[in-house]
């Protein structure tokens, strides 16, 4: 676009292009001052593209996520961007939860970037193979794929987080504990169910199939799953929602049904919501530092890029913590199970609007 090249500057000053190039690289040259003014005068800007071609590097890193509209992935992107520093910029791609789009995205970024931070749609994608072919550095964030153990990754402690949540409910006295889970073919989907089941097992509680709702990590999915749970003859007294969006959906369904948190049902979600402390009751959640997770992914990638390509794949984990607020309480046994009638009193409250 700029059309004024290094030769224009050279001619203007009356030196060779090499001299200009050296000046640009910070080397000491004779006519520094003349060159400076010539550059300013001509409004010369070095061509990034030409430099890329020479150097073989692009100064760009791709961040590929399934759903930017999910605040979780926004935060990942934000963390990665902030950690990129002055040296690298981030190329953002949304795969819209489609494996097809994900693979095309990988094809599209190839050659434009020096590395990739990928949150794959699910574990079935063949992304790793793609990259092992070409030797592009890649780090997986939040989610893995088959064979991805050969690559760097930054996960969260999914199992522990889910166990923490479930145990909390158990300790409050619940035993009819449901889970609204993400897709079992995703890493967090699978592992959070594992944590849930671990906790039940340790408490010698049986994992009842009707309390397991596999959903899709979306708000509407969470809504429908919660609806289903509420329609059960013997509905759970507590539920663990496996991600932020589904927690919102579940909340919606609960609000709509007119039952109250935590009196009628306890709710705990994986990942905090920025309004969790504002609503009534404030939501108890399993939380983690998402931006940090994104930043760590970027840092691992930068390490690779800085030549330390040798060391074996690193697998980092971000800690979780439970933030107790007001959405979990001991179960009330007044109305509960026993004999099918349980839910008859539910429709006693005539809130129809909204």
Partner DNA sequence: TTGTACGCGTTATCAT
Partner DNA sequence: ATGATAACGCGTACAA
258 binds a copy of itself, rule: CB under 8 A: no
Task: Say how many CA atoms lie within 13 Å of 70 toward its Cβ.
Answer: 25
Sheet holding 177-181, edge to edge: 212-214, 177-181, 238-241, 266-270, 284-287, 321-323
Helix (H) or strand (E) holding 214: strand 212-214
Helix (H) or strand (E) holding 140: strand 138-141
For DNA, which stretch binds (CB under 7 A), given 8-16, 148-156, 236-244, 297-305? 8-16
144 binds a copy of itself, rule: CB under 8 A: no
52 binds a copy of itself, rule: CB under 8 A: yes
258 binds DNA, rule: CB under 7 A: no
Look-up: residue for tokens 């930068």?
302
344 binds a copy of itself, rule: CB under 8 A: no
Smallest gap from Cβ 238 to a copy of itself, in A, equals: 20
Contacts of residue 103, Cβ cutoff 8 Å, sequence gap at least 6: 125, 126, 127, 130
Out of a copy of itself, DNA, none, what residue 278 binds, judged by CB under 5 to 8 A for its kind, is a copy of itself
Helices 99-109 and 127-134 cross at an angle (nearest 10°) of: 20
CA separation for the pair 80, 314 (Å, rounded): 17
Q: Is-contact 143 154, C-beta < 8 A?
A: no
136 binds a copy of itself, rule: CB under 8 A: yes
237 binds DNA, rule: CB under 7 A: no
Neighbours of 128 (CB within 10 A): 20
CA separation for the pair 316, 163 (Å, rounded): 19
134 binds DNA, rule: CB under 7 A: no
Helices 187-202 and 158-171 cross at an angle (nearest 10°) of: 40
Among 12, 29, 235, 243, binds DNA (CB under 7 A): 29
Q: Is-contact 88 59, C-beta < 8 A?
A: yes
Q: Which of residues 80-109 bind a copy of itself (CB under 8 A)?
A: 81-82, 86, 89-94, 108-109
Report the residue number, 47 or 332, with the smaller CB distance to a copy of itself.
47
Q: Which of residues 273-332 bind DNA (CB under 7 A)?
A: none
57 binds DNA, rule: CB under 7 A: no
For DNA, which stretch binds (CB under 7 A), given 54-62, 164-172, 198-206, 299-307? 54-62
Out of a copy of itself, DNA, none, what residue 310 binds, judged by CB under 5 to 8 A for its kind, is none
33 binds a copy of itself, rule: CB under 8 A: no
Residue 51, phi then psi, degrees to nearest 5: -60, -45
Out of a copy of itself, DNA, none, what residue 285 binds, judged by CB under 5 to 8 A for its kind, is none
Sites of contact with a copy of itself (CB under 8 A): 1-2, 43, 45-50, 52-53, 56, 58-60, 63, 68-69, 71, 74-75, 77-78, 81-82, 86, 89-94, 108-112, 133-136, 248, 251-252, 255, 273-275, 277-280, 282, 326, 353-354
Sites of contact with DNA (CB under 7 A): 3, 5-7, 14-19, 21-22, 24-25, 28-31, 44-47, 50-51, 53-56
């Amino acid at each position: 676009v700029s059309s004024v090249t290094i030769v224009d500057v050279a001619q203007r000053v009356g030196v060779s292009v090499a001299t200009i190039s050296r000046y640009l690289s910070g080397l000491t040259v004779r006519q520094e001052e003349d060159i400076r003014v010539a550059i300013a005068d001509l409004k010369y800007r070095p061509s990034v593209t030409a430099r890329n071609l020479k150097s073989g590097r692009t100064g760009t890193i791709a961040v590929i996520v399934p759903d930017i509209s999910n605040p979780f992935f926004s935060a990942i992107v934000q963390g990665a961007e902030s950690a990129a520093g002055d040296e690298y910029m981030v190329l953002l791609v949304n795969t819209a939860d489609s494996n097809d789009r994900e693979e095309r995205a990988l094809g599209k970024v190839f050659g434009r970037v020096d590395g990739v931070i990928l949150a794959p749609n699910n574990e079935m994608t063949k992304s790793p193979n793609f990259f092992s072919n070409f030797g592009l550095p890649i780090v997986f964030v939040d989610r893995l794929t088959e064979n991805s153990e050969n690559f760097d990754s930054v996960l969260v402690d999914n199992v522990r987080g889910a166990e923490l949540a479930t145990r909390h409910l158990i300790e409050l006295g619940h035993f009819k504990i449901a889970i609204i889970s993400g897709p079992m073919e995703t890493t967090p989907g699978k592992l959070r169910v594992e944590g849930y089941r671990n906790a039940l097992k340790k408490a010698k509680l049986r994992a009842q199939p009707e309390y397991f709702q596999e959903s899709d990590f979306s708000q509407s999915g969470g809504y429908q799953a919660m609806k289903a749970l509420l329609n059960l003859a013997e509905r759970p007294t507590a539920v663990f929602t496996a991600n932020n969006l589904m927690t919102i959906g579940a909340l919606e369904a609960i609000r709509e049904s007119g039952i109250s948190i935590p009196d009628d049902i306890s709710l705990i979600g994986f990942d905090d919501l920025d309004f969790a402390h504002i609503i009534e009751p404030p939501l108890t959640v399993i939380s983690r530092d998402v931006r940090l997770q994104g930043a760590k992914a970027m840092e691992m990638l930068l390490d690779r890029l800085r030549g330390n390509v040798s060391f074996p794949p690193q697998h980092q984990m971000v800690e979780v913590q439970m933030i107790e607020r007001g959405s979990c309480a001991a179960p009330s046994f007044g109305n509960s199970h026993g004999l099918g009638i349980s839910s008859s009193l539910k429709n006693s409250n005539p809130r129809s609007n909204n």
